Structure 1
Amino acid sequence: MGETEPKKHSMRSLFKLHPAVIFLGIASLLNDLSSEILYPLLPIFLTTYLGASVASVGIIEGIAETTASLLKLYSGYLSDKIGKKKALTVIGYSISNLTRPLIGLVNSWALVLLFRFTDRVGKGIRTSPRDAIVASVSDESTRGKAFGFHRSMDNLGSLLGALTGFLLLKVAGLDIRTIFLLVLIPGILAVLSVVLGVKNVDKGIPDSNKKISLSFKPFDAKFKKYILILGLFTLGNSSDAFLLLKAKECGLADAYIPLVWMALSLIRTVFSTPAGMLSDRVSRKRIIVVGWLIYSIVYILFAYSTKVWHIWALFCIYGFYYALTEGVEKALVADMVREELRGTAYGIYNFVVGIVALPSSVICGFLWQKFGSIYALGFGALLAFAASVLLLGLRYEKNQN
């Protein structure tokens, strides 16, 4: 049996979101403002200031994301087990935003790895409980919109972060280390947004008669297949740090790297909520497939890019991949599983996507260093196309609980 038809929207449901979704969106905006001032400049900081190799960039990003994924798995399960999703979310945001600025003080890439590791520990703790909160306060007819709004706010933070990074570097003339230290300010505001704004989302300790285990067993075959297909796609979805290095390879000046990142973030910000709303009306699966195919085509074009204008155009198109997939993938998870298992389900989802980040980024770094960027980016394009075909063939029923 195929996907069931989603409920139609009323005009009121098109615009109304639960307060918890709004304040979590604000927190994500501020957190990403902090993170995205730093992230586009990090590959340049590593290779130019600290003398790290391109392969080292891949190792650092891969280990950082893999660390986060391991904790996302356990924190999702723990949030189902103890029913304290808000507390875990606050702890995660606090760890990340208190340690991220310390990268500005280091003198070796090994210490960058340490602080990126700690930053990702925070992300690992907060992500799955936060996603479960968004899913639990939204019904089927608005779930795509809720996740799309959250991604829009997250991406608006990226946009503002990239713009702030550009202004601080190019206009204010600050050095990269000073800029890294300043990210503490929006980080603290992100934590306060969750503490003060997200209320009445924890339902207490779950029913002890309902056993919750950190296992695939409670989930049906369709969810398991979906997760495996996501894993295949992610194996070719290496860190965007490599695309920034490709931009530099094509001649884009360092000061304009935050600006091209801002263009990417603008597309993600504007189109994530509409894409989520569209997924409430039509098949979420097909929207994800379109996004993955865009990814595959764009990576092939990145591989053969030689001019600066190629980079600007492709980063803008690349933003549509993110808009069509980020929130919709998570909404599809909630469609497939029961509410009391959603923390664990998001833990599994985030774990599989994140754990594959290590081999993905390491493989890309190896192929790039050994054979060049065409082979590295072409590998990602091939796997994205294969995953698209497999997902298109997956049939499922929405969970009615």
Structure 2
Amino acid sequence: MARRGMTNILLLGATSLITDLSSDMIMPLLPLFIASLGGGGVVVGLAGGLGDSLSSLLKVVSGRISDVIGRRKLLVLLGYLSSSVAKLLFPLAQSGYDVVAIRFFERMGKGIRTAPRDALVAAYSTESTRGKGFGIHRAMDTTGAVLGSVLALLLIWVFGFSMRTILLMAAIIGFFALLPLYFVEDVKTSPLSGSSRLALAGLSPQLKRLILATTLFALGNFSYMFFVLRASTLFSERLAIAVPIALYIVFNIVYALSTIPAGSLSDRIGRKRGLLVGYGLFFFTCVGFALFSSAWMLVPLFMLYGLSYGFIEPIERAYVSDLARSELRGTALGTFHASVGLATLPASLMAGFLWDAVSYSATFLWGACASFTAICALVLLVRDGGGQ
């Protein structure tokens, strides 16, 4: 990977780091904040899935627009800015459904920026280093999540700040993410001729099968909020807030530490094998959460949860990038993110329904079944390739 490309990946990583520092001061508090406002499992499911799902439509649109105009950075900037503005509304929420609405608008910014940003990361690397490139970006992104979660824990446990105050502080921090983004070099491609309408027919059959497998997995990859909520039920009073945040930190530390090795490993052994490892780890995570009720098991289970994400997140993006033509990479990544994102709504709604109507175990067994189905689809439908 050339030094110039690495510099730009690090700058994008810094932007993501600061954004996730802001976001993850909010995220571990959000299910607890919803519960404090009287929201139940279905409301948590809506907050975890609705924004990601509907805003995912923007990912394919923004990815396609970046291909059509031959520029990426402007859309990336717009996405980060709009998310920062939306976060200012969280402290004003008066009900769980207010949180659902605000999170929808905040996720729209993510929908605008994600595909063009990932197309930039892919352009700054080569196929033989793309897993490492995405691993570096995801590691910096998740490092911000660790720092944000630690800061939230300190502010609420040591300094005694209210959740609303922490939400406001997090929103202000988010605007600082725009500073490193200013120095990122745009990658210009030849603008696509013709209409700006989506050209999904231009995606290869192999890529479409991969997107199908990742979408099947996403149907069971419900919001992290249910893992945090499950941890909170095993404690009382202040520990019911502090311990879930601490476990969320454990999850993000393992996630951050594993993305670069996992991405680099996929450069050597192939994307398919690496992704199968990630899906398998998530399967065992869900089985563990379904079967074990001991508080002492939470630490290894959250570590396993983080390790699964360390494999899945960078390898999925690198795999899609490998199978897409460079001039359609924004469209391909947008289609992938949109398909996966749209699946998060039924995934989280199903998880919330099972949580309220059956039991927490049913929620996690749903995740295990979906990940097993995705493993079968990946083995049977997608050929080895990409990063080999």
TM-score scaled by length of structure 2: 0.95
The residue number in structure 1 matching 2:294 is: 307
Measure how far apart 1:277 and its partner are.
Answer: 1.1
The 1:360–1:303 alpha-carbon spacing in structure 2 relative to 1, beyond 3 Å, is: same
The reply on whether 1:271 has 2:271 as its aligned counterpart is: no
Mapped partners of 1:162, 1:60: distance in 2 = 19
Q: Give the conservation status (yes or no) of the 8 Å contact 1:33–1:160.
A: yes
The residue number in structure 2 matching 1:5 is: none
The residue number in structure 2 matching 1:188 is: 175
Partner residue of 1:237 out of 197, 221, 224: 221
Structure 1 residues not aligned, in runs of 5+? 1-12
The residue number in structure 2 matching 1:22 is: 10
Partner residue of 1:202 out of 185, 188, 202: 188
Q: Give the conservation status (yes or no) of the 8 Å contact 1:223–1:333.
A: yes
Mapped partners of 1:231, 1:200: distance in 2 = 30
1:11-33 CA deviation, whole Å, 9 max, x = no partner?
A: xx599852221110000100000
1:227-271 CA deviation, whole Å, 9 max, x = no partner?
A: 111111111111010111111122262122221111111111111
1:166-203 CA deviation, whole Å, 9 max, x = no partner?
A: 000001110000000001333111112112x2024234
Mapped partners of 1:397, 1:144: distance in 2 = 13
Map residues 111-150 of structure 1 onto 2, 5 A cutoff. 111-150=98-137
The reply on whether 1:220 has 2:207 as its aligned counterpart is: no
Map residues 156-195 of structure 1 onto 2, 5 A cutoff. 156-195=143-182
Map residues 40-189 of structure 1 onto 2, 5 A cutoff. 40-48=28-36, 50-189=37-176
Measure how far apart 1:373 and its partner are.
Answer: 0.9
Measure how far apart 1:278 and its partner are.
Answer: 1.2
The residue number in structure 1 matching 2:24 is: 36
Q: Give the conservation status (yes or no) of the 8 Å contact 1:20–1:201.
A: no
Q: Give the conservation status (yes or no) of the 8 Å contact 1:216–1:224.
A: no
Deviates more, 1:98-107 or 1:29-38: 98-107
Measure how far apart 1:399 and its partner are.
Answer: 10
1:108-141 CA deviation, whole Å, 9 max, x = no partner?
A: 2222122111101100000000000111121111
**AA in 2 matched with 1:37:** M
Give the number of equivalent residue pairs. 384
What's the Cα RMSD here?
A: 1.8
Q: Give the conservation status (yes or no) of the 8 Å contact 2:135–2:262.
A: yes
Identical-pair percentage = 39
Mapped partners of 1:17, 1:338: distance in 2 = 19
Mapped partners of 1:208, 1:70: distance in 2 = 23
Partner residue of 1:326 out of 313, 332, 345: 313
The 1:233–1:283 alpha-carbon spacing in structure 2 relative to 1, beyond 3 Å, is: same
The reply on whether 1:290 has 2:292 as its aligned counterpart is: no
Q: Give the conservation status (yes or no) of the 8 Å contact 1:17–1:146.
A: no
The 1:328–1:16 alpha-carbon spacing in structure 2 relative to 1, beyond 3 Å, is: farther
**What SS class does the counterpart of residue 141 from structure 1 fall into?**
coil
**AA in 1 matched with 2:241:** D
The reply on whether 1:337 has 2:337 as its aligned counterpart is: no
Mapped partners of 2:240, 2:355: distance in 1 = 21
1:38-62 CA deviation, whole Å, 9 max, x = no partner?
A: 00010111112x1111111111221
Structure 2 residues not aligned, in runs of 5+? none
Q: Which runs of 4+ in 1 moved over 4 A?
A: 13-17, 396-400
Mapped partners of 2:166, 2:196: distance in 1 = 44
Mapped partners of 1:83, 1:15: distance in 2 = 23
